[in-house]
A and B are shown apart, each in its own frame.
Chain A
Amino acid sequence: MRNLLNFLLKYNNIIVFLILEGIAFYWLTNGNTYHNSKMVKTMQGITRRMEGRITNAKNYLSLREVNLQLAEENSALRNRLEQFNHADAPGFDSVNDTTAGRQYIFTAARVTNNSVNKQKNYFTISKGSLQGVEPDMAVTDGNNAVGMVVACSRNFSVAISLLNLDFRLSARLKSSGHFGSLTWDGRSPRYAILNEIPQHISVSEGDTIETTAFSAVFPEGIGIGRVSGIKKSGSDFYRITVELFADFRQLQYVTVIGNLKREEQLELESQYQ
């Protein structure tokens, strides 16, 4: 007994260190798998209110830029509306069913927490399950893909950012329609990598990269970025560097896009895969 006590006294530093380090690593491994970002959300619940205030102040300072962006979007939508007005109106139209013929629903949200300097970045948005946001909905900054919702609380959602080593996105060349898979290599928040485009296809710098509807998350044709560098890797594929359209460093308002027909598509596909 005395020996044991002596032992404990002699090595108390190492024992305290190992116990605390054990707790920290348990926390680390538990909290860092893809789907456990729910846990991140719980822990952030404590600091959320404070971050909300900081974000408020930041938003106020950049109202001018946001205004400009909204004005541009408005004008684009007006143009769009004009096209519809001139098209021949169909004869009878039921107004009761608001979802008839619709596949996608849109809602705007504010970004309350965001990071770009980690290897696995997530951001938090200010709408949750009460506002109809669900996991697996797409997130854009208005025009361009920025991420995907992974977890929702009642009033907040956590989305995995495109700037995350775990995130993969099906993307295609706008010009030819050939598709590949877009990932981030963890280097710069301005660039991502498009793989799996075979080398016999002609690609040139400046080509637009956009989303496909294959994963039933993003609608087809949402912008991602433009080709800024093409390298032939050892295999038969290109390694294309994509300059992202979205500026992740000043992400403030996002549009969340839900796919009303996603479950139908996945259910049908699951019978054959």
Chain B
Amino acid sequence: MTKAVSSPPGFWTKNQQKLAPWLFLAPGFLMFIIYVLVPIVQSIWISFHDWDGLGEKVWIGLGNYVELLDDDSFYTSLKNNVIWLVLYLLSIPAGLAVALFLNQTVTGIRLYKSLFFFPFVISQVVVGLMFTWFYAPDFGLFSKLIEWLTGEQVAVLADERFVTYGIIAAGLWPQTAYCMILYLTGLNNINPEQVEAARMDGAKGMKLLWFVILPQLAPATFIAMVVTVIGSLRSFDLVSIMTAGGPYGSSQVLSYFMYEQALSEYGFRMGYGAAIAVVLFLIMMVFITLFIVRMLSQERNA
């Protein structure tokens, strides 16, 4: 390469191949460090302190974590997070069902598809408000229905037995729409020849779905899993809008608990909030690591 050049090559020419990718990566890296890595380290650092956000930070070591282990609200939040995680996954089969149902060619199917996708477009806050009214005692459609069926009113959002399920039901509505869209794009990429071949071999109904269609939808299922699991762990908006963690803290989840301790009107315990954030981060890390490991192994096999 340097044969024709008489003078010795400069630093740039020598290392261009090595440096160029780093230069291209630099802006992204910089942003990532400033807005992701540094805040993570800062949060962990704050979680070792007792700090109200105004005065001096006082180092208390693992004090916040010790207190967390003795805090009933923490266990309530943790339990609710598990319920969220499990039930939120229902949006994947539900989304698949809707997608399969909509994957046909009839007049106006585009309109139906967009109507089904509609809940994902509107903001979570609006979804929360709508469901709050839906459940509202005295005038809500749902409580009217329950009253008509059982003769008794159930105020879903005021009853600690039902409140978390009530909120999750509200969350499933937009999440199902999201999974549906993922599956609809997946269904577009199905190899028609394989389906035809399977048909010729006599496969139909559930068998066709399970052995021919679903394996081809695996990438869509994977993405749906990832967004649903992460979505369930950061379920914040709905809890905040519908119950604010109530009644008496029984619909609390980790992300709302963190907000309430650190940033709400009655909070400003930055250290404690940061400790909750770190715990939430560690839980998310488990899932994220699983997903990344799976993704990497797939790439290697491909």
Chains A and B bind each other: no
